Structure formats: C-alpha cells, structure tokens
Amino acid sequence: MRILLDDGSFIEIRYPTVREYSLHWQKGSRIIRIDTAPHHRNLKSFPRHIHFKFEDHVIEDNITDLKSSPIENAKRFLNFILEMREKI
C-alpha cells in the first residue's frame, strides 16, 4: 500500500507475512524504513532494524515488535513518522 502525504512524501507498507514487513517513509533522498530483512545480525533487535535518514545508516528498531499485529506495528510506525518527519 502506498500513501501520498501533503508534504510531498510517501509511505509504503508491505506485509507479506505477520513476521515479515517493510514500513517505508520517504521524502526526496531522506528515508525511514523499518524492515525485517535478515541482515544486520549485530543489532539487538535482529531481524528488525531501521534505515534512518539514509539507506546505509541502520539502527536498532525500538518501534515495532514481531509479537504485535500488523495493524499495531503500522500504527506505531505512522505515529513515529508524524513525530520525526520534520526533524530529519
């Protein structure tokens, strides 16, 4: 699902399974994406991680939870984006 926002940014939500997802916000070259691709094993939140500001800047995910429903994780992501999109 793609959502276009009034500031020219967009959000894409992909949830192929309950435990696999990609929640992506982008404006120009700035991004915030939380996903469960099985890389970045060094992070405590593995496989969850956040690409923050840039594709190569990866941090731990303290927003979503594999035990939460897709709807709950999407809500958490949307709230995080609304809070952060003006700051990055």
20-27 and 10-17 beta bridge pairing: antiparallel
Task: Note the pTM of the prediction, 2 decimals.
Answer: 0.91
* Residue 34 identity (one-letter amino acid): I
Reference 75, options 63, 86, 84; nearest CA is 63
10 to 5, 18, 45: CA distances (angstroms): 6, 23, 25
Give me the tens of pLDDT residue by residue for the chain, a chain 88 residues long. 999 999 899 999 999 998 999 999 999 999 999 999 999 999 999 999 999 999 999 999 999 999 999 999 999 999 999 888 778 7
